[in-house]
């Protein structure tokens, strides 16, 4: 005997046809990033294959007679290769695919050979170091030999010596060798380039308002990107500057974001409210 204590309406606990998505309704649009839930939606529709964009392939080539790979013995006047790892992680974070090449010396023939090899398989070629104006900085000449120089030098701090060129449909970048400058300029230029080439939707910048913990001076005529660490207090957030100099990286690892100081501003007072754009 079956006893029924409450009425059972029709189709209770039954998923009706078309209740999830109806025929002709758009499930995913072109340009949407495939997340786990979206892949699940495709599987629910019975699709085993979909057309996708190829990941942007970025070659990172470290340059300089003074750098050595981490793990090797560090002798006087040498430093470890930092930028290959920071830039490589940034490329992956942006959805790109990265290939890190071996360290190349500051000789034109070596730079040219590395560039020619990287151009065969890359969408973007990034050289770390060799973009400053100096006797041993030959990168602009090397870029010019295979393509068109787009610009050399930008009015920002850090990252002023940035170099960009175009060879066919390939983009070439010369990122400053100083680690903090390299990472900052890569966030500002390399990241949006990869997102654009990869067809990713424009990302809304996440930001918070904070009060500057101390007075900060800036050079007029240069747009400064000041890295800061955030600390909560009773009034909201305090922004503590962490940038020491272009050659440091450990201080930058503690940064939560950066504050833009326009080129016509030479002083930010302690307690002044600023917008912190988060990494």
pLDDT digits (tens, 9 = 90+) for 147-158: 999 999 999 988
Mean pLDDT score of the chain? 89
Mean pLDDT of the 29-42 span? 90
pLDDT at position 135, please? 42
pTM (predicted TM-score) = 0.84
Do residues 126 and 59 lie in contact, with contact meaning Cβ atoms separated by under 8 Å?
yes
Question: Percent of the chain, pLDDT > 90?
Answer: 62
* pLDDT band of 235, cuts 50, 70, 90: confident
Asked if the model's pLDDT at residue 204 lies above 80, the reply is no
Mean pLDDT of the 89-94 span? 95
Do residues 135 and 167 lie in contact, with contact meaning Cβ atoms separated by under 8 Å?
no
Lowest mean pLDDT among 45-59, 102-116, 136-150: 136-150
3 state DSSP class of 183? helix
Asked if the model's pLDDT at residue 246 lies above 80, the reply is no
Q: Which stretches does DSSP call E strand in the chain?
A: 57-62, 67-68, 79-80, 97-100, 124-128, 148-152, 156-157, 163-167, 170-175, 207-212, 216-217, 223-233, 236-241, 257-261, 267-268, 273-278
3 state DSSP class of 41? helix
HSE of 38, CA atoms in CB hemisphere, 13 A: 11
pLDDT at position 15, please? 81
Mean pLDDT of the 39-53 span? 91
Asked if the model's pLDDT at residue 237 lies above 80, the reply is yes
Nearest 5°: phi and psi at 189?
A: -120, -45
pLDDT at position 248, please? 63
pLDDT at position 134, please? 58
Q: What are the structural domains of the chain?
A: 57-197 (3.40.980.10), 207-278 (2.40.340.10)
Handedness of CA 164, 84, 131, 260 (dihedral sign): positive
Do residues 259 and 272 lie in contact, with contact meaning Cβ atoms separated by under 8 Å?
no
* pLDDT band of 137, cuts 50, 70, 90: low
At CB < 8 A and 24+ separation, what contacts does 249-252 make?
249/82, 249/86, 249/179, 249/180, 249/183, 251/180, 251/227, 252/179, 252/180, 252/183, 252/184, 252/227
Lowest mean pLDDT among 78-87, 134-143, 176-185: 134-143
């Amino acid at each position: 005997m079956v006893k029924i204590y409450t009425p059972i309406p029709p189709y209770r606990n039954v998923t009706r046809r078309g209740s999830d998505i109806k025929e002709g309704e758009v499930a995913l649009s072109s340009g949407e990033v495939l997340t786990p839930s979206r892949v699940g939606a495709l599987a629910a529709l019975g699709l085993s294959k979909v057309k996708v964009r190829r990941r942007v392939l970025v070659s990172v080539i470290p340059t300089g007679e003074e750098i050595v790979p981490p793990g090797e013995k560090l002798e006087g006047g040498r430093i470890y290769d930092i930028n290959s790892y920071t830039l490589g992680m940034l490329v992956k974070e942006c959805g790109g695919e990265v290939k890190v090449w071996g360290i190349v010396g500051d000789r034109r023939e070596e730079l040219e050979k590395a560039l020619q090899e990287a151009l065969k398989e890359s969408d973007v070629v990034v050289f770390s170091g060799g973009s400053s104006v100096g006797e041993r900085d030959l990168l602009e000449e090397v870029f010019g030999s295979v393509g068109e120089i787009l610009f050399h030098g930008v009015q920002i701090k850090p990252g002023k010596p940035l170099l960009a060129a175009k060879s066919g449909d390939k983009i070439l970048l010369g990122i400053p060798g100083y680690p903090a400058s390299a990472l900052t300029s890569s966030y500002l230029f390399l990241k949006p380039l990869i997102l654009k080439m990869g067809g990713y939707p424009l990302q809304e910048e996440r930001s918070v308002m904070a009060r500057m913990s101390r007075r900060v001076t800036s050079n007029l005529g240069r747009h400064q990107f000041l890295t800061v660490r955030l600390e909560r207090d009773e009034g909201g957030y305090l922004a503590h500057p962490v940038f020491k100099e272009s050659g440091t990286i450990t201080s930058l690892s503690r940064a939560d974001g950066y504050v833009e100081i326009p080129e016509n501003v030479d002083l930010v007072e302690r307690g002044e409210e600023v917008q912190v754009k988060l990494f």
